[in-house]
């Protein structure tokens, strides 16, 4: 036993002596600090930090800035949120295929981030560069802008509402759901109460406004058909007066529904108008492997009503936590 202790003692002394000698040599031969050396040191540190942050954002979590009011009051404009990138599988590269997807499915009412199906690419180089800058700066720098200077929404944040087999119908801004396997529609409020879902989704347009919106859409259909508005029924002209001074319909989906219905009734041979009108009246079917996302602020949201269901493969994360502003910090996984 003494031999072992003696051996360990000699070995320890040898290692410490060598390290002390190496440190003394480094101090004696230390190179003078130069501007170039300092710049290289900072550049190396910066590149490492950028790469590390990018990898964290791509494979673990991403910080996201809310750009529009589509999720008010759950999320306000300029809120900053924590998005889990592992909830539904991990993307190999931005917008690429996923791995580790087994048993990681979207659940009804999850707040999700997904790739905007209406996004117009500015080219692969710009797309990659803008995403790297956005993620590596924790969402502080976004060079992806529209022509008017507003932020181009490459990613959307919405709530997962419609699931495979469901049919979702919209009437005067209200949502009606025919769940998979059912033969009847149920209004969303009742559906949410029966399934213990949150009360985040809400309406802000008064029900009395819809007569005017529907009349506006119908009269616009007359216009597109080349028919004079004075040929329209008196009740349409009267109802339109209530929204005449509005710049934009409060519910564009209802506006389009009324417009297409009018065009289909006037010209049954117009297959496109008939098809669109049928789509609006029958609702949106959600196919297997897809989700229909809607904004909580139902009257001010560009969502699945307009671009339809999205593939679950295009969902890249789940919003779990709001970390800014500080007075609204909170967990969102149950919202």
Question: Which of 334, 312, 319, 287 is CA-nearest to residue 101?
Answer: 312
pLDDT tens-digit series, residues 85-107:
999 988 887 777 888 877 788 99
138 three-state secondary structure: coil
Q: Are residues 262 and 326 in the same domain?
A: no
**Are residues 77 and 151 both part of a single domain?**
yes
pLDDT digits (tens, 9 = 90+) for 5-35: 565 456 554 655 666 666 665 566 666 667 7
Q: Does the residue 35 lie in any domain?
A: no
204 is catalytic: no
**Are residue 149 and residue 242 in the same domain, yes or no?**
no
Work out how many domains the chain is built from and give that number.
3
- Write down the catalytic residue from 85, 87, 130, 158: 158
**CA 179 to CA 186: how far, in whole Å?**
8
Q: Are residues 58 and 142 in the same domain?
A: yes
Catalytic residue among 70, 136, 258, 301: 70
CB atoms within 10 A of CB 22: 10
Q: How far, in Å, CA of 277 to CA of 265, rounded?
A: 9
Specify whether the CB–CB gap between 262 and 282 falls below 8 A.
no
Helix (H) or strand (E) holding 304: helix 304-307
**159/62 same-domain check:** yes
Rounded CA separation 280/171 (Å): 9
Asked if 223 and 313 sit in the same domain, the reply is: no
In a domain, residue 293? The reply is no
* 222 in any annotated domain: yes
Does residue 43 belong to any structural domain of this protein?
no
- Residue 149: the pLDDT is 81
Phi-psi region of 95 (alpha: psi -120 to 50; beta: other; left: phi over 0): left
Please indicate, yes or no, if residue 285 is contained in any of the structural domains: no
Phi-psi region of 181 (alpha: psi -120 to 50; beta: other; left: phi over 0): left
- Note whether residue 37 is domain-resident: no
Same domain, residue pair 8 and 155? no
The per-residue pLDDT for 295 is: 97
Angle at 86 between CA 198 and CA 192, to 5 degrees: 15
Question: 252-266 and 210-225 helices cross at what angle (nearest 10)?
Answer: 50
Residues forming a β-bridge with 294: 159
Q: How far is CA 73 from the centre of its chain?
A: 16
- 229 within domain boundaries: yes
Q: Which domain holds residue 153?
A: 54-165+299-331
Statement to judge: residues 273 and 317 lie in one domain: no
**Predicted local confidence at residue 173, as pLDDT:** 92
Instruction: Reduce the DSSP state of residue 229 to 3 states and report it.
Output: helix
> How confident is the prediction along the chain (335 residues), in pLDDT tens digits per residue?
555 556 545 655 465 566 666 666 556 666 666 777 678 777 777 777 777 877 888 888 888 889 899 999 999 999 999 999 999 988 887 777 888 877 788 999 999 999 999 988 888 888 878 887 887 777 778 888 888 888 888 899 999 999 999 999 999 999 999 999 999 999 999 999 999 999 899 999 999 999 999 999 999 999 999 998 888 899 999 999 999 999 999 999 999 999 999 999 988 888 888 888 998 999 999 999 999 999 999 999 999 999 999 999 899 999 999 999 999 999 998 77
Residues 6+ apart with CB under 8 A from 297: 69, 70, 71, 72, 73, 202, 204
> For residue 154, what is the DSSP state?
S
Res 26: pLDDT: 58
- Characterise 189 by phi-psi region: left (phi > 0), alpha (psi -120 to 50), beta (else): alpha
Answer yes or no: 277 catalytic: no
């Amino acid at each position: 036993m003494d031999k072992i202790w003696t051996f360990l003692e000699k070995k320890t002394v040898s290692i410490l002596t060598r390290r002390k000698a190496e440190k003394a040599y480094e101090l004696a031969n230390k190179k003078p600090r130069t501007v170039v050396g300092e710049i290289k040191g900072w550049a190396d540190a910066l590149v490492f930090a950028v790469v590390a942050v990018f990898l964290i954002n791509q494979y673990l979590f991403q910080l996201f800035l809310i750009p529009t009011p589509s999720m008010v009051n759950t999320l306000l404009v300029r809120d900053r949120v924590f998005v889990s990138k592992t909830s539904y599988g991990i993307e190999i590269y931005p917008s690429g295929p996923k791995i580790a997807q087994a048993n990681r499915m979207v659940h009804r009412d999850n707040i999700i981030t997904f790739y905007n199906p209406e996004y117009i690419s500015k080219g692969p180089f710009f797309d990659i560069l803008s995403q790297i800058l956005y993620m590596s700066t924790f969402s502080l720098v976004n060079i992806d802008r529209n022509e008017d200077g507003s932020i181009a929404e490459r990613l959307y944040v919405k709530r997962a509402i419609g699931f495979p087999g469901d049919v979702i119908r919209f009437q005067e801004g209200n949502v009606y759901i025919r769940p998979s396997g059912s033969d009847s529609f149920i209004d969303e409020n009742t559906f949410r109460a029966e399934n213990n879902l949150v009360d985040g989704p809400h309406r802000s347009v008064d029900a009395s406004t819809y007569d005017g919106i529907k009349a506006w859409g119908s009269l616009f259909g007359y216009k597109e058909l080349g028919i004079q508005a004075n040929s329209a029924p008196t009740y349409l002209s009267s109802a339109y007066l209530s929204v005449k001074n509005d710049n934009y319909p409060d519910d564009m989906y209802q506006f389009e529904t009324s417009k297409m219905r009018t065009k289909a009734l006037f010209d049954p041979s117009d297959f496109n108008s008939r098809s669109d009108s049928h789509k609006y009246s029958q609702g949106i079917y959600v196919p297997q492997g897809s989700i229909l996302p809607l904004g909580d602020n139902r009257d001010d949201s560009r969502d699945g009503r307009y671009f339809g269901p999205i593939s679950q493969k295009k969902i890249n994360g789940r919003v779990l936590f709001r970390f800014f502003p500080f007075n609204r910090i909170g967990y969102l996984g149950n919202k």
